Every structure is written in structure tokens, then in C-alpha cells.
Structure 1
């Protein structure tokens, strides 16, 4: 029996489907080196109920909530965040896993930086079966990630430019300081850039985001991964380009010239599209080739 201690961090876990991964995710929560956490599985009225899985763990620190209707990605993330009772909250994706020291690492990181609105860590990439993996996109992302040892504070124009350039923070690792986060921070317009959108608003508002070089999270790449699904029909790329247009306009108005330039160029998005075009050409998929190439070379859409 786990002794009762007041939780210091919440794992808010939006769930839609994938019970096997949920079991692994919750098992990694239970394996934390410290006991003072709570976990809330927020079931978004999906095709698979997670209630029995949660009950099977028989731990009072793990709660289950099911939405009456499907709220969508942003809506469920906002609900999960709102249910937390602790100062620190992680939107923990149910298809990923935590390293045993994640909670202790993030609590210590946020204590060292009491003014930070959010903290993040490095990841170990795993595949469907939990084995190490790495994609070309991961290699490029690693190359564009700032080099640092210890802690890194991301602020202002320079910080946002680096995020717009490569979105190098793995969003599920982010631990939020609830008191500094506005209500319902996740915008329902977005499906892929939800996290980056929140980060840009934090930075435009003058907040500090802090990272640690500790590897404390296991990020899973698999066929049902949201990133992969949204890339199949270019909806991911279209969203990224629309977001870049918004950031470029806001940065221009705020006088953040480095961010504005990088957002207008959207170099990584365009590079990804050119890679898609080359792959489609190799596979003799003319329709996908034309779609990728057209998006890669055209200007940004009008900002909203």
C-alpha cells in the first residue's frame, strides 16, 4: 500500500484509443522514483473505454474521467489540464512512457527556475514495441536542436526563432506551472501545432521556458502516431504553413525581426515537403509529388 502523500505533480493523460499503450504508460507512472504524484486519465468518449484498465491498477493516485461527448484533441487537453490539483502538470501522452526519474527531474528543474512557465527534457525515441528507433526527421531535428549542458532558458525573439525554425521541444515532455498558464490554453483550430502555438504565446507574453539535458521521457514513433496521420494528406504541412504565417505577422508587429524572417521562410516545413516530393517521384506518385512541390515553393497563406 502506497503511503498517502500530497502530490506535487499531475500526469494529465488525454485518452482516445490504444489500451495496450495506456497500460505501458501507466506502468511507467507507477515506476516513478518518488511517490508524490497523481495521474488523471481523461477518456474523450472514444471507441475503447479505459475505465477497466485504470481500475485494474487499483491505485488511489490514478483517477479516471470520461467526457460525455468527444471534445477533440485541444478540448480534451484543456479538460485534462483543468482537472489537475497540483502546481505542476504534464500533458502525458498515453502512447508514450516516462523514464523512472521523470517526475523528480521536472520537479527539481522547475524549482531551480521558479519563474519559468514550463519545463521540458530530452527524449529517448522508441518504436511500437519499445525498442530504440530514429527517423530522418528525428536526425534533422537533433541537428537543429540547441546544444547545451545542464539547463537552458528559452526567451524572447531569439528563443522563439529557434522554436519556429525546428520545433525542437518534444511537447509531451513539457511540464507546465499551472498558476502561470491561462485557462484553456490549447487552441481548437490546431491539431498538429497545439504545443508550439502555446509556446509562442508564452514567449510573446514575456515568459521563460526552461529545458534540461536529462533524458527523462520515452517518445513512441508508430503507425497511429498523430504526427504521422496528419502528414498523410498534407493537413499537417498546411497547418504548419498557416501557423508560420500567423507567427510571422505577429512577430513583425512586435518587432521580433529574427522570428519574423524565420517564420516567413518556414525552412524545415519546406524541406520536409521537398523530401515528400522526392519520395513521391521515386514511387511514381504524380499526385503526391505535385501536392508536395506546390506547397514547398509557394508563399505562405494569408494569416488569420
Structure 2
């Protein structure tokens, strides 16, 4: 009988045939082998499940469910997790061979921490490096008590570079399945209210994030109404609110709304919906004035009217603004 694993890797998978095997191969290639991988097939209509079935590794299990969304899939996997530590890895991403060892060592070295995380690289659908990335050595993240920084803007790419304590995640109930957008941010905020995050350093990267067009979150992000439920969930969370004074909470509330409004405006701009983009971006600046945001808005306007690539694909996110502030 196999002993319980130390680490559980939960992999929600929906129509990732051709990508799920590289993902699982990266888990199988880890420098430590005391893990289990739970793949939750969220009603795929392609060959995802058939490809997983070709693997002969007792540490990998396949769970199939009707299509219910990524949060339900993650929570399903979390309910089955047996490891002390858990990672949520998307089915098209790829781990560095030392990822689990480094992250687990980070948690063991910081018993007060609820999560450990590192850096990531982006890759194209083909697996080639994504062009124009900032060198890993220049990545900057908050460390320790990251709650205020997380409230101001999600500084994590996704769960693929985060290892967390399974018992804490289970006690929190996992992801809020009622949320269709920013459900990961809402979960990270609740987790950050429970304890500190340990940053394990910049190099090497923990995982490679595969950037694919047509993501569901991108389609939802264009509508400001879709941002409200996650905002309301965080703003109404008594445990999070109790961590701050009245004045600090008012300021953070403005920053949160401004961050989401800016992101919604950014997505509208990339979709060439310039009128709502301008309205949302100006709204963000009114809520939380920022010289950087103002400069980016001017650059975006010039790009639109002069057709100059002053802001390449307008790849500025509010985490770029938040990163300039102390945690």
C-alpha cells in the first residue's frame, strides 16, 4: 500500500488534448517523488481523458465530472487531496523540475506561512518562449504579510507557482463557485488573511504559463458588471476587513475598485472598445490617482489616434502599478 504523499497537485482539465501530457510529464519529472496528481476532467469533449489514460503511474489519478467550471473542478480535487501541501496547476502549463522541492522547502522553512510561491515564465501555445518578457532577476514580489498587496491587485499568474497548506485551503472551502471572474483573486485574498506568503526567490522559474488566445476570463473581463461579484465578496469579508483600521480599509477599498476598473478598461481597449475603455480608465484614476496610470492612458490615446505602437498591445496591468507601492 502506498504511503500518503506529501504534496498533492490538482490539475483541472478542459479540452487540453495535446497539452495535458506535457503538463503531467513535468510533474513526473519532479526532483522529489512524494506527490500525487489528481486530474479533474471537467467534461472535456476532446481526447484529454484518453491521453491521460496512456500514462502508467499510480501517483496520477483521473476524476471525471460534468462540465461545471474550473472552481468546481479545483474544489473536487481539493476534497480528495491527501498531501500536506497542495498546488493548483492548469492542464496546459509546465512545471520546472525543481518546483515542488523548492516550494515545499519554502513552507517547511516558514511554519507560519500558509503559502510559498516563486516566479514564472510565459510560453506560446507551441511551447516556445513568449517574446518580450522581463528577465526573472527583475521580477519583484511582496513577501510575508501580503494581504494589502493582494487586495490592491492580484500579483500571482495562477496557482501554478504557488504551494499552499492543504488543511488551510480545505478549511476555507476552496474557491467560491458562485464567482465567474477573479475567483482566484478572491481565494488568494482569503488565504492571505490566514497567514503569510513566503517568496522563494526569482530563479529558476517555478513554472511556465502557456498563453493561449480566447480565454474565458478575457471574454468576461470586458463587462464591468462581471467584476462586481468578486469585489463584493472581498469587500464584505469580515475576516479580511478586521485586519485593517477604518481609514486603511477605506483607502484599500478605493484601490481595489480602481484596480478592477483599470483592468476592465485595459481589456476594453485591447478589444477596440475605446469609449468604455476611456470611461473605465478615467474612473480608476479618479478613485486612485496615479501618475503611471495617467501616463499610460495618454500613451494609449496616442496609440489609438496616431496608430503608433507606443504601448505594445497595451500589456500594462494594474499589478504593474501595485508593484510600485510598498506591501
Which interval holds the TM-score relative to the shorter structure? 0.7 to 0.9
In structure 2, the partner of 1:160 is 147
Q: 1:203 aligns with which of 173, 177, 192?
A: 192
Aligned pair 1:146/2:141, yes or no?
Answer: yes
Aligned counterpart for 1:133 among listed residues 130, 144, 157? 130
TM-score by length of 1: 0.78
Structure 1 distance, partners of 2:130, 2:13, is: 24
Give the Cα separation in 1 of the matches to 2:69 and 2:259: 27
Matches within 5 A, 1:42-61: 42-61=40-59
Alpha-carbon distance in structure 1 between the residues aligned to 2:156 and 2:269: 27
Give the counterpart of 2:212 among 222, 231, 255: 222
Distance in 1 of aligned mates of 2:30 and 2:270: 42
Alignment of 1:85-96 (within 5 A): 85-96=82-93
Counterpart position of 2:14? 16
Q: Which residue of 1 aligns with 2:181?
A: 192
- The offset of 1:178, in angstroms, is 1.1
User: Cα RMSD over matched residues?
Assistant: 3.0
CA distance in 1 between counterparts of 2:13 and 2:266 reads 32
Structure 2 stretches lacking a partner, 5+ long: 288-327
**SS of equivalent to 2:262:** helix
Q: Secondary structure at the match of 2:33?
A: coil
Change in CA separation of 1:252 and 1:58 when aligned onto 2, cut-off 3 Å: closer
Task: Say whether the 8 Å CA contact 2:4–2:82 is kept in structure 1.
Answer: no
Q: Contact 2:218/2:267 (CA < 8 Å) preserved in 1?
A: no
Paired with 1:96 and 1:221, the residues of 2 have a C-alpha distance of 9
Three-state SS of the structure 1 residue aligned to 2:111 is coil
The reply on whether 1:113 has 2:116 as its aligned counterpart is no
Q: Where in structure 1 are there 5+ consecutive unaligned residues?
A: none
Count of equivalent residues: 275
Whole-Å separation in 2 of the counterparts to 1:194 and 1:145: 23
In 1, Cα distance between equivalents of 2:138 and 2:226? 23
Match of 2:316 in 1: none
Shift of 1:144: 9.1
Aligned-residue offset at 1:209: 2.2
CA distance in 1, matches of 2:148, 2:62: 39
User: 2:325 maps to what in 1?
Assistant: none
Give the aligned partner of residue 171 of structure 1. 158
Contact kept, 8 Å, 2:265 with 2:276, in 1: the verdict is: no
Aligned to 2:306: none
| Alignment check: 8 A CA contact 2:183 2:230 kept | no
Aligned partners of 1:247 and 1:263 also within 8 Å = no
1:263 aligns with 2:253: yes
Alpha-carbon contact 2:10-2:86 (below 8 Å) kept:
yes
Change in 2 beyond 3 A, CA 1:224/1:60:
farther
Name the CA shift for 1:71/1:272 in 2 (closer, same or farther; >3 Å): closer
Cα distance in 2 for residues equivalent to 1:131 and 1:76: 28
Query: What is the deviation of 1:240?
Result: 3.4
User: Does residue 65 of structure 2 align to residue 74 of structure 1?
Assistant: no
Distance 1:222 1:255, change over 3 A: same
Separation in structure 2 between the aligned mates of residue 275 and residue 80 of structure 1, nearest angstrom: 33
Out of 273, 276, 280, the residue aligned to residue 291 of structure 1 is 276
Report the Cα distance in structure 2 between the residues aligned to 1:28 and 1:263, rounded to whole angstroms. 40
